[in-house]
Structure 1
Amino acid sequence: MGGTAADAAVAATLAACVAETIFTGLGGGGYATYFEASTGRVTCLDFFVAMPGLDGDRKAEPMRPIAVRFGEVPLPYEIGGASVAVPGLPAGCGEIHSRWGALSWADVVAPAAELARAGVAMPVAHAVTLPSLIEAMLPGQGGSAYAPGGRLLQGGDRLFHAGLADALDILAADGPGTCYTGKLGAAVVESVRADGGALGPLDLSAYQVLERAVNSAELGGSTVLGRADLNRTVQTLRALPPDLADLPHPERAVVLADALDVRGPDDRLGDTTNVTAVDDAGNACVITTTLGLGSGVWLPGLGVHLNSMLGEGELYSGELAPGERLASMMCPLVVLGPGGALRLAIGSAGASRIRSALLRTLVGVLIDDLPTRDAVRAPRLHPVDDVVHVEPHFPVPEEMALADSGYTVNRWAARSHYFGGVSAIGTTGASGDPRRGGTARLLG
């Protein structure tokens, strides 16, 4: 349609708010990294969720504890109106579009609204995850969407959120501001406060998209650029040995595991989604977003599920002042070649596994010269304390080297969304991640 990478990425992110609603939605937040080919400038935008409380006119009631299951382990979590942080996704999409888009806002929102009107096929990878999340997904309007007739959706079943098309139509007609000072914003405040939360009109009207510092690391003769995240992704890349390319693969696996070593809890579900877009001018836009698990609070008649980010213990310690941003492990990246041209645009879902998924894929493309598709599909590892989790097809010599170096290796029996969800576009092709039902499209 003549749009830019920004138009495509925003349209796809809004489409994800229809099709990947167990991962993301209009009530969530995220980050974007944009590469402008004409100037060579890289920009990192922060539109993650913020701490409510600026109105100061009420105290939030206690959240509602639930248990979700990841594998065989029940994980504590909390939902309800008090778990809802100030959403940033609509503001972020609007900011990206206003800075770098070429199409009208209404044209960018229209495809998502059409998807919402018809409903979409539930991705198989998401249907497999759904049973773990039912305590967060089924309250309120979630039951009719995810378990119509009392039966959980299976892969290929129609996922339909009644009223979501109307919400997107309002967004298209009134602009992103409607989520903060307009019709949708008023619905957010009313719904959250009716369920015991304290989020108010001032929290929404004061929300702003922030521009963050861009950090860089050299890898394989290219420059990787992105924000400083809770995972320290760029810093981890910067600390890799300069002779990484010369190391035998078994020895390299140990080096990567040591660099990624995570000490402490590593049990977040990682319900995030990532969109990557590159246009024919060489501009790139990578957007990573999340809803948490969803708070069980929905906008009445509008099919919008609000985030539960304050119920994420690892992100919110109770020490943030109203208006401050929560921390996040999301880290959309762009990679520039020696001449400054775009070589790769890449991001991932997966909480603490975002870093290991990105690192393994970046090494595949930049060190091993793998096509993008092969690098995304290559077997991954993720260390937690003295245990290294590896995928079923992880090379045996690398597993043996990890064991010899003192790690306990846990080889998973099947491919899992645990290992992240990378989407990448590079000079050697494009790929979504099969672990999370990802896909890629090259348009003429």
Structure 2
Amino acid sequence: MSGSFSPSQTTRKPGVTATTNGVVAAQHALAAKAGAEVLAAGGDALDAAVAVSFAIGVLEPWMSGPMGGGAMMIWREDEARAHALNYGMRSSASLDPAHYPLSGAGKASDLFPWDAVVEDRNVIGASSVAVPGTVAGIAAAHGRYGRMPWKDLLSPAIAFAKKGLHVDWYAALIIASSARDLAQDPDAAAMFLDEGQWPKGSGWTALSDIRLDQSRHAATLERLAEAGAGDFYTGDIARMLAGDVTAKGGFLTADDLAAYAPQWSDPLEIPYRDGRLFALPGLTAGPTLHHAVTQWTKGYAAVEAAEPKAHLARADALKAAYAARLEDMGDHESAKAPGCTTHFSIVDRQGNMVAMTQTLLSIFGSRVVSPSTGMLLNNGIMWFDPAPGKPNSLAPGKRCLMNVCPVIGEAPGRRFALGASGGRKIMPAVGQISGHLIEQGMSMQEAIEAPRIDVSGGAQVVADERLAGPVTEALAAAHPLAKVQRLPFPYAFACPAGVMREHGINSGTTETFSPWGDGVTAD
């Protein structure tokens, strides 16, 4: 038998609508449900974002959590404007670049093709940990727009952590993919592995109830709920965190935590046909999205959006945008990198919206668990080029460059909040889905389900196999081309989540093949 096998089946994930209340779309349905319950109780979109942020850090701990960083776009209906909030990680002021000598052994082993560092000190272990920003960011947004008590909003996450994450087939698969690295840290091995070697859930069956012990995580969240977000940066949690990272050989001090502050800013406003997108400025994918959208709208008319000409114009524009990003920002993240981030989008009954992306950077971050807090630590130091003299070279007290791309978009009669996980694949997905919503008037479900391409660095264009025919023929004539399936694992494309408000009706959904993701209504 020759050739490839393509099963004759169709997979869909119906979106949800709500006529009177809000919607949460998140990569884990339980986290989305926690946020929807906040909305149903009269909470603001920002209240729901607090609940979802902490809950999903428990339910999908290898992707994001309090020890990471991220960014959000906020739409305030009463102000009729968007706000950008960046709470990305940064390097410690005490960091010593000399601790990361180049090994001369080729390229690094993870997301970025940097020159390899001795012992992968910038990739794995406590020396790869950067100053986290997620707690400061979500607290700043809640302080400005939240209505419900901080303590109440952490309750769902605490309950999930006390119960412990159920290791189903998908969790077991994710743990197995990183078992070798997790085994190097005794605390990570104790949490995720059996006998320091075998992934928990390796004997999984449909009737199994294997759970992670997240009791320390729960205790830290209880402390954070009672003492407030400031404790993470200047209180007991800060002392525990800095002590754990230092004891394991990393650079993180109490002064680093106390000095951390998120950044509010005016968003980039990107014209898009008869609509517009609001995106993050600065060290994010927002400027790259601006570059791509501006160029590709010149390459085809809106009525040609589904034609081969449009796909070719998108490929050309994305390739040019990433070339500029490499030149100006020094972003060398591999286009083949797996998705190691969490995104969720929220709309409440008033029409307020949040598009929030948070990350540990790599899957399982540094693959190190802080024993005092019970939480996985980020590996944000890997975002920096370890070679000196580059736009993004490693240095103390420096902000990390991120590929996050949460957006608020609008067209006549509709507004949406959208983002994705997936490293450099995020921006091409967000741009194309936004185009489906603005140019073609698709529903959020239709836009997320629609086949798309990925061009996020390098010469190759990756196309959904459903585009086979005139579209892929046009792409192949101009670029090296690969046709791939959309699968639950591994992801060939980014994993989006979006909500939309159209004529007072809210809707939302997530990536069709996200095993845990879903949209949940507050009705």
User: Same fold, TM exceeding 0.5?
Assistant: yes
1:424 and 2:498 are equivalent in the alignment? yes
Tell me the matched-pair count. 436
Q: Which of 147, 151, 163 is equivalent to 1:106?
A: 151
Which residue in 2 is equivalent to 1:245?
A: 302
Which residue in 2 is equivalent to 1:351?
A: 423
**For residues 21-420 of structure 1, what are the structure 2 equivalents within 5 Å?**
21-54=61-94, 61-62=99-100, 67=109, 78-122=123-167, 127-138=172-183, 139-148=185-194, 150-153=198-201, 158-228=211-281, 229-231=283-285, 232-242=288-298, 243-247=300-304, 249-261=307-319, 262-263=322-323, 265-293=334-362, 294-313=365-384, 319=393, 321-338=395-412, 343-383=415-455, 384-404=457-477, 406-415=478-487, 416-420=490-494
Using a 3 Å threshold, how does the CA distance of structure 1 residues 131 and 67 change in structure 2: closer, same or farther? farther
Using a 3 Å threshold, how does the CA distance of structure 1 residues 315 and 94 change in structure 2: closer, same or farther? farther
In 2, distance between residues paired with 1:79 and 1:151?
A: 19
Paired residues of 1:278 and 1:425 also in contact (CA < 8 A): yes
Q: Which stretch shows the higher mean deviation, 314-323 or 368-377?
A: 314-323
1:180 is paired with a residue of what secondary structure? helix
Whichever residue aligns with residue 215 of structure 1, its letter is: L
In 1, distance between residues paired with 2:173 and 2:493?
A: 15
**Aligned-CA RMSD value:** 2.9
Q: Which stretch shows the higher mean deviation, 300-309 or 242-251?
A: 242-251
In 1, distance between residues paired with 2:497 and 2:402?
A: 19
In 1, distance between residues paired with 2:420 and 2:168?
A: 17
In 1, distance between residues paired with 2:386 and 2:357?
A: 16
- 1:359 shift after superposition: 1.5
Q: Which of 487, 503, 511 is equivalent to 1:433?
A: 511
In 2, distance between residues paired with 1:360 and 1:160?
A: 40
- 1:338 shift after superposition: 4.3
Paired residues of 1:192 and 1:297 also in contact (CA < 8 A): no
Residue segments in structure 1 that go unaligned for 5+ positions in a row = none
In 1, distance between residues paired with 2:466 and 2:256?
A: 48
- 1:127 shift after superposition: 4.6
Whichever residue aligns with residue 402 of structure 2, its letter is: S
RCO higher in structure (CA 8 A, sep ≥6): 2
Percent of residue pairs identical: 25
Using a 3 Å threshold, how does the CA distance of structure 1 residues 298 and 129 change in structure 2: closer, same or farther? closer
In 2, distance between residues paired with 1:67 and 1:185?
A: 31
2:465 is paired with a residue of what secondary structure? coil
In 1, distance between residues paired with 2:309 and 2:56?
A: 39
In 1, distance between residues paired with 2:465 and 2:42?
A: 42
- 1:295 shift after superposition: 1.6
Whichever residue aligns with residue 351 of structure 2, its letter is: G
- 1:67 shift after superposition: 4.1
**For residues 10-21 of structure 1, what are the structure 2 equivalents within 5 Å?**
10-21=50-61
In 2, distance between residues paired with 1:434 and 1:129?
A: 18
Which residue in 1 is equivalent to 2:44?
A: 4
**What TM-score do you get using the length of structure 2 for normalisation?**
0.77
**What TM-score do you get using the length of structure 1 for normalisation?**
0.89
In 1, distance between residues paired with 2:358 and 2:60?
A: 11
1:22-43 Cα shifts (integer Å, max 9, x gaps):
1101110000111110011211
- 1:123 shift after superposition: 6.6
Paired residues of 1:195 and 1:297 also in contact (CA < 8 A): no
1:316-335 Cα shifts (integer Å, max 9, x gaps):
96745533311111011101
Paired residues of 1:330 and 1:354 also in contact (CA < 8 A): yes
2:416 is paired with a residue of what secondary structure? strand
